[in-house]
Structure 1
């Protein structure tokens, strides 16, 4: 029985990276004019080379020319074309190709591109069709890609060898490239696609590096914003909370405390007394982060959050945000509550779910100063 593999290449994926355009969406011509050389097809070649020993068992369904036909033919695969692509294909050509591939009873759709390509595929692909991305873009933020092009090929190889590879839904994420070029990272989740779940080869959330840290913060912000309800949200100080405010396009008091409702500012830079007045009769949640290197979540830099306010809000309404990098820097030490009220500190101690990414959290201990000395 033949393995029916769909194949799509976005030939312009990754063009903007080498010429510092921080993406390729809408700037392919500019990138080429600056000297960028298309390399997405080479990424797909890396993936397909892993499958050469199985080429007699594979039937590739693809689009013409640079969108898949050329490289599949050069490598000697048996191919069937479903779409005649223009000389300079665009996003709509990816979508038209996928629409036709939906009708061919594929076992898997393999595509090369970046987050923009993943969005194009997501918009039209059948929900029950497994897909896997070959990383070829400037931005690889979505969880539908292999860690490397070769890793994507190895996942397909496992399927061909009859290995039990589970399927999972992975997030399709993208950032606003125009804003990114101005130094602002805004991530948005567009949905999920079904992917082969092989943790050795399929990527997870990015960690490390300045740009990656910014993307992790945007992931955290996306998670918080998605869960917001018709309630007050007290936004504590610190850069991680500031990332949420930035994603909401709201002015933020970096070293102060703001109050928002329905994704809009109620009041900024509030005092402890004003917070008590405003939140007296409305359900309220508190969004806080830790002080990097120290681990304090209360008692350092946010004294506006009085013991009376924290008691009113309740432990269950405290939302803690942190990157895994910051948590790892604590080297296993717990987060610290030092509210000025030892009884409250004791009530607040225990294990909390700390949001570390989009739909990604860890359990982490919170302790009182006294517990640290024991």
Structure 2
């Protein structure tokens, strides 16, 4: 209703000089149905291209902006800005247009003009925060915006995240608390506050808030925070159950598995404790670790440091999912550089036993089979 009223006032403030030719009801209909492109086209048919009428230029600029014709919108707003350089709504529109077009530097210039005119303009500081060039600059603008409006949820969320990044957990928590107190049904803010509450040792609060949030949505992040809180409250069975839920969903990680291992240990369920300790280790090791050792060993070979290459290859074999390429490389190393025929045959056979892809590695397979025959006669 407020927007419609503004539109009506906007339309009926058109100069009386053109009142006899503008169909204001038609224009209002375009606005109400959000047919802004047609509204802009209609206005252009009424006003000459070189019009200097501020209200007409502003209205056409607005219609172009709302219809996505940003270059046309900017052209008209610039005309208005040249005539009225301190017009804050126009400066906001120009900032918005440039931000949408990816020109953050230009958008920032207009916003800075606004804060020079109005040092208490919350929206200008909020938008400047999004255009900050450094973390420090972004934090400065967020702090100013938050000071002007402590209950705005978006600014509170972003400022809290900035404080959390700096490990200033109490400040991050306090910023969110004020916004949550003003809107205790804002689950986004409450979810963001959970890890901070855990950091600050407010474990019972985490459980209480988490249970409330879980009634709305079984979010994995909430379950994770509750699991940690249960652990520190020594409710180990609930901790293990919470993280088992994540495991069943396939979204476990090194941390969740570690808490499960510790919880089962405290429950004296050593079989599960051992199993999850092993899972923690597996999860903590990159699935590409064998490739890294192959690369390292290859570099050692290039430098003729064969004993170190051998050590690197064998280190790669200690991981759970061994890459069969390591067996092939070891066979070559023993065969040509270390001149240990028996070991070469052993690793060539292990390469074949691990079933390399017959299409992708046909050449290597054929070669290895031939080398095994050739070397076996020398053993």
Which structure carries more relative contact order (alpha carbon 8 Å, separation 6+)? 1
The structure whose Rg is larger is 2
Q: Normalised by the size of structure 1, how large is the TM-score?
A: 0.28
Q: When you count helix as a share of all residues, which structure comes out higher?
A: 2
Looking at secondary structure, tell me which structure has more strand per residue: 1
